[in-house]
Amino acid sequence: MPTVLTVILNWRTPDMTLQAAEAALRAMEGVEGAITIVDNDSGDGSYETMLAEVAARGWDRGAVPVRVLQSGWNGGFGAGNNYGIRAGLPGGQRPDFVYILNSDAFPAPDAIRALRDHLIAHPATGFAGSFIHGDDGAPHQTAFTFPSVWSELEGAARLGPISRLLRRHVVARPVPAATCRVDWLAGASLMMRQDVLDRIGLFDETFFLYFEETDLCLRAARAGWPTDYVPASRVMHIGSVSTGMGRWTRIPKFWLDSRRHYFTKNHGRIGAHLATLAHVSGGALWRLRLLVQRKERGDPPHFLRDLIRHHLRGAGACKTKARPAE
C-alpha cells in the first residue's frame, strides 16, 4: 500500500499543533505512513513541550509513528516543510505521498485517505487538496487561478466591468462543488506526489511566507502535473494563527518580498514591473471609488504606498529571514 508522510509545521503554537497532530492521527487510520512535526525554531519551549507530549501519549510508538524534529532556524513555511519532507519516513524511507497540514487545521477522519485514494486513482495528477472550512462550517476560498498581470489589475480595481472583462484571470475562484482541476490550492491541506517533488524540487525557500505553494503548483503544472481539488476531503481551518494575518496593521515586508519574487521568477523582471503597474492602476481606480462610496478599504493601511516604495527599492528579490507578525 502506498505510504503517506504527513508534515505539520509549528511556530509557537505547540498546543494547537498537537491538536492538529491528534486529528491527523485519526485521519491516518488505515493509511500506512508517519507524521512529522517540525518546530521552526520557535525558541519558546515549543519543541521540548511537543517532544514530551508525544512521548507521554505514546504517539512515537503507535502504528502511525509521530516524531518531533527541530529545524534549527526559522526559514519560513517552505523551508520548515522542506526540512520535514527531506527527513522522509522514520528510518529514512521514501514516502509515496507527502501531505502538508497547517498547525491550525484539523482533518476529518477520512480526509487524508480521500486525497491519497484520489492520487492513486488519478496517476497523472500531481497534487490534491481539500475542501477547507472554518470552525463555523463556512467554506474558505482555497482554489485559485495563477496570478498574472491581468489578475493584479482585476483584484486591485474591484470593479464589476473590469472583473467581467477579465473573468478568466480572477485569482479567487468560487468554491467548487465537485472534484475538479484547478491551478493551485492553499497549502493548509495539500497532498503531493513524491515522484513529482523528486522531479521539480521542493518549496522554493526564497519565499518566507505566502506564494510558495502557488509557485510549487505552477512548477508542477509546467512539468505536466496538474492539481485537483477534492471536496470529499474536508478539513477545518482556523487560519492565520501563526502568521497574525488577521491582525496586520501594515503589510509585512515578507509578503511584499514573496510577491515580487513570484512575479520576477515566473514572469521575468518586465512581468514583475507590469504586475505592480497593473496593481497600482487598479488600486488607484478603487480609491477613486472610495471617495464617492462608503465601502471597506479592504487593504491594510498604506498598502498601495508600501507596494510602490517596495517595488522602487527593488527589495522584493532579496531573501528575508524576518519572522511573521505575532
The answer as to whether 160 is a domain residue is no
pLDDT at 34: 98
User: Which tens digits make up the pLDDT trace of 77-90?
Assistant: 999 999 999 999 99
Which residue, 210, 242, 274, sits at the end of a domain? 242
Q: Which residue has the cell 505536466?
A: 224
Interatomic CA distance for residues 187 and 46, integer angstroms = 22
The answer as to whether 65 is a domain residue is yes
Give the confidence band of 292 by pLDDT, cuts at 50, 70, 90: confident
Percent of the chain at pLDDT exceeding 70: 94
The answer as to whether 129 is a domain residue is yes
Which residue, 242, 269, 291, sits at the end of a domain? 242
Interatomic CA distance for residues 183 and 191, integer angstroms = 15
By C-alpha distance, which of 270, 244, 172 is closest to 214? 172
The answer as to whether 76 is a domain residue is yes
Mean pLDDT of all residues in the chain? 93
Same domain? 234 vs 252: no
Q: What residue numbers bound the domain in which 278 lies?
A: 246-317
Question: Distance of CA 241 to CAs 136, 227, 247, 248, Å?
Answer: 16, 26, 10, 12
Question: Distance of CA 323 to CAs 40, 82, 116, Å?
Answer: 10, 17, 32
**Domains contained in the chain, number:** 2
Same domain? 193 vs 282: no
The answer as to whether 161 is a domain residue is no
pLDDT at 245: 58
pLDDT at 240: 61
User: Which tens digits make up the pLDDT trace of 7-32?
Assistant: 999 999 999 999 999 999 999 999 99
Same domain? 214 vs 283: no
Query: What would the 3-class secondary structure string for 157-175 be?
Result: HCCHHHHHHCHHHCCECCC
The answer as to whether 156 is a domain residue is no
Which residue, 225, 242, 259, sits at the end of a domain? 242
Give the confidence band of 303 by pLDDT, cuts at 50, 70, 90: very high
The answer as to whether 58 is a domain residue is yes
Same domain? 270 vs 225: no
Q: Which amino acid is at 278?
A: A
The answer as to whether 122 is a domain residue is yes
User: Which tens digits make up the pLDDT trace of 230-254?
Assistant: 999 999 999 765 555 556 679 999 9
pLDDT at 247: 60
Residue 63 has pLDDT above 70, yes or no: yes
Same domain? 227 vs 130: yes
Using a 10 angstrom Cβ sphere, with 0-12 exposed, 13-18 middle and 19 or more buried, the burial of residue 83 is: buried
Residue 184 has pLDDT above 80, yes or no: yes
Q: Looking at residue 15, which CATH number applies to its domain?
A: 3.90.550.10
Same domain? 218 vs 309: no
Same domain? 179 vs 309: no
Same domain? 195 vs 310: no
Interatomic CA distance for residues 190 and 213, integer angstroms = 9
